Structure 1
Amino acid sequence: MTIRAAKPAFCAAVIGLTVILSGCQTADIGPIDTTAQAMITTSAPASTIRNVLVYQAVNKNNLVVSDTPKILVVDMRSNDFLYSVVLKHRWDPTARARITYVFDETGGKTTVSAAATLVANRSGKPQQVTDFEGNPDVKAALQRLLEEAAAKAQ
């Protein structure tokens, strides 16, 4: 009888431990290096620039993964319609471009930096991330996106 009574306590302990450990996966990753990224400084407020970037992402049928006051993360959706119809909601192994925007407001000026990565296994752990750091074409495209957003935010 004591063995049967111990099972609910054991299950409760396992569930409690699982809940505690799941909180560890959301830890802060620390400061982000912006030296090799596209960057723009403007007098427009960060919230206005973020709204323009979110509008552009939604208008292009991209997915806003994270939207906080300091960071905006956007995944570019796959353009392969047949592939998405066949897979529907199952695991999608297709790698997608991910753009991360970092906002910094100091002294009445807003600095926005953008970095692009290629992310595979987005729904799984761990995600496989390939950085485009140092690629001049990607940096130029990101710079154009930032300049367009800053111009619309003015």
Structure 2
Amino acid sequence: MAIIGILGTPYNTVERSPFWWNKVSYTRQSFIDVFQELGHTVIVLPVDKTENIKNYLPLVDKIVLTGGADVSPYLYGEEPHAQLGTTDPIRDRFELAAIKAALEANKPILGVCRGLQLLNVYFGGTLYQDLSLTSSQIKH
């Protein structure tokens, strides 16, 4: 079976949180569980300096980009809208570097929620910064 590298979600701690004063990269247990149930080994990769992805990628067969903060609209040529949620430029840069490295290494990528949105942006797509900006009845 495969070794799955799940890119961690940064947790920006606040006072009185369980990880107060500490940077944390985490993933939902359900991601770990589903891949383990399929017989895979899971490694959570911390959000780090972009140059460090070259150290992590050889350890895994596939990567998973998970949900979280909104993708920065600057990445697809737009100014932030007032209804845009929180963004994380450090995570954006790291995950874009991971996508590039995984593609160059011919390693599969699974994008979930934000991860799929970032893949869309990587390949030149755009996003609605908030679902209220579309006339569609899309429910998330």
TM-score of the two chains, using structure 2 as the length reference: 0.22
Larger % of helix: which?
1
Alignment TM-score, normalising by the size of structure 1:
0.21
Larger Rg: 1 or 2? 1
